[in-house]
Chain A
Amino acid sequence: SQQGEEDPQALSIQEGENATMNCSYKTSINNLQWYRQNSGRGLVHLILIRSNEREKHSGRLRVTLDTSKKSSSLLITASRAADTASYFCATAFSGYSTLTFGKGTMLLVSP
């Protein structure tokens, strides 16, 4: 399967701690995107990182991409209870016109 795989499947932390989620994939990509999904809602786009980029920041979010290892990580710093959600990586594989979503990491941030 070309599907990106997130790791861990679930993560439970305390407010103020950092949360790191990883995504691995198997073939070359144009870009990789991270999305958040709150319970009962649709997905919200967080960050897009292109294959020629190594790191991007957006507020408390930091995404890295290592194309040699075919992996990406999403770091959420100083987490808040409102960060509780599922986080998905979506890969834009070269030659494909659609995104492929992983199964997600469920993050629980306790007050």
Chain B
Amino acid sequence: GAGVSQSPSNKVTEKGKDVELRCDPISGHTALYWYRQRLGQGLEFLIYFQGNSAPDKSGLPSDRFSAERTGESVSTLTIQRTQQEDSAVYLCASSLTGGFSNQPQHFGDGTRLSIL
């Protein structure tokens, strides 16, 4: 498809398990972003990729969170030893270029993560 694709769309897991969330950005977009959105709240920035490197990972809430991007394409966000406070929608976005150009971002529909 032409848009940003995220999988799975929903994930329910038990506390303490690891989860892996996937994002396929728009082809050719060099910048990729991960956000967390708690119910009824705004977006909380997690990490930004420019190509395969992450110039800004300041938003990752703890060392249980990690992300990688390969081939300047797909990105995965991994949460280890999940806690109930991790329950949220995780949104991925991409833009044609990143950095200080601050171009419009194109969002996927998110992964709704529920920790039991």
Contacts and interface: CB of A to CB of B under 8 A. Distances in A.
A97 B110 contact: no
A98 B42 CA distance: 15
B105 A97 contact: no
Q: Size class of B's contact patch?
A: 20 to 34
B107 A92 contact: no
A42 B33 contact: no
B104 A45 contact: yes
Contacts of B105: 43, 45, 90, 99
A97 B43 contact: no
B108 A30 contact: no
A30 B99 CA distance: 12
A88 B48 CA distance: 19
Interface of B: 4, 33, 35, 41-43, 45, 48, 50, 55-56, 91, 93, 98-100, 102-110
7 contacts: A44-B107, A97-B56, A97-B98, A98-B48, A99-B102, A101-B42, A104-B42
Interface of A: 3, 30-31, 33, 40-45, 48, 88, 90, 92, 95-104
